[in-house]
Amino acid sequence: MDEGLAFEQIERLLELQYRDAFSIMELKFWRDYRLRSSQGIQENADNFCFPSFSNHVFPHPSNDILIDLYVAGFKLQEDCFAQAMSRLLARWMSCDHTFKSVANIGYKRPSDGKWIKLYNSVFCILNEKGEVLQWQFTRSENFNEVSAMFSDLRRRLQCQNTLLEGIIIDNCCKWKEGLTRFFPETPIKLDLFHAVQRFVKTLSKRNPYHRAVSRDYGLIFRDPKDHGERRTMPTPEPSVILHNLDQFLSKWKDFTHEGKQIITAKGEKAIKNIKNHILKGCLSNIPVGCCTSVQERLHREMKKILTSNRIGSELAYSKFSRFFFKNNAKKSGKIWSPIMEEVSDAKSNAMQNSSEAKPKYVETFGIR
């Protein structure tokens, strides 16, 4: 299930396992029959036969039973997942909504059988290592819907005496007031990935210069001394980025292909909006690796775990929780194993005296 298999596929696998086990038993039966015959032992042919299944339909658990077993198994280890995520810290946080990954989470209304969709997106907060710190199914992009997540994270960082150096988000100015309530001294920055995409998506992919223009635009957020395929330095001051933007525009603004300008009216509007963010400092002093492009890769993996067009909220919560635990284990170089996490907790608790033990603070994830 954690690798994206559908419950229908698991049904089929279990049915095939039963068929193979049944066939092995039948094979042993007829071998024994032949052995007894060779030894002169005669059987009553009328009563001597191996049972068979009509239409070759072999027993297997139903889809509903498999779902119940999966969810029940998750609930046995739910505290383990929550505790593991509640311990993670961050110097920088990147935040983003994803809409396609939540598929169609909801329930069938008993009165008329109509499918009622519960959520439109999932909101994830990652640290600079790419570990998921917090996540929640959401119905909108309203800050108030996810404010409790930031309240939990503020408390977590305060308990661990950890200073948050910055927050990366795609709607920095819109959410700045709300975020500042929880992290008053923390810079709020516009996500570089979205800053680039807002312009790049206005370019025609059929244009042979699409790649060159996209590459040059992405480089305006680089320090002039930062060369190479990947960024190795923080993004420069606003004046430097503006200078880079001017150079980009002098090269491409009036460039045409087959009588059409490369940069369209929509592109000019996108650049104008980005320029406002540059002037406010939203795109300066962003460290290497602090970008929601990591989230975009995570989103692609998230879509694989929701193989059904319709899925209940309890099953979706179980799947996402296990997926994020697996992602975090991979990012930290640990083996993906909930039971090993429980063993580690038990060992830690056993080694502490009652006077040394600190009360555990476990946050809420997924559904609030």
- pLDDT single digits (tens) 200-257: 999 998 889 999 999 999 999 999 998 888 888 999 999 999 999 999 999 999 898 8
Mean pLDDT in residue range 275-302 = 84
- Is the pLDDT at 10 greater than 80? The verdict is no
- Find the helix or strand (DSSP H, E) in which 106 lies: strand 105-108
Mean pLDDT in residue range 107-133 = 90
Q: Are 216 and 264 in contact (CB under 8 A)?
A: no
Query: Whole-prediction pTM value?
Result: 0.79
In sequence order, which residues have a C-beta less than 8 Å from that of residue 294 and are 6 or more positions away? 94, 126, 130
Whole-angstrom distance, CA of residue 366 vs CA of residue 320 = 8
Mean pLDDT in residue range 67-89 = 87
Res. 101 pLDDT band, cuts 50 70 90: low
State the SS3 of 26-78: HHHHHHHHHHHHHCCCCCCCCCCCCCCCHHHCCCCCCHHHHHHHHHHHHHHCH
Q: Can you list the alpha helix ranges (DSSP code H) found in the chain?
A: 7-38, 63-76, 78-86, 143-159, 172-182, 192-200, 210-218, 238-252, 265-280, 293-305, 313-331, 338-351
- Which sign, positive or negative, has the C-alpha torsion 216, 220, 226, 231? negative
Whole-angstrom distance, CA of residue 101 vs CA of residue 237 = 35
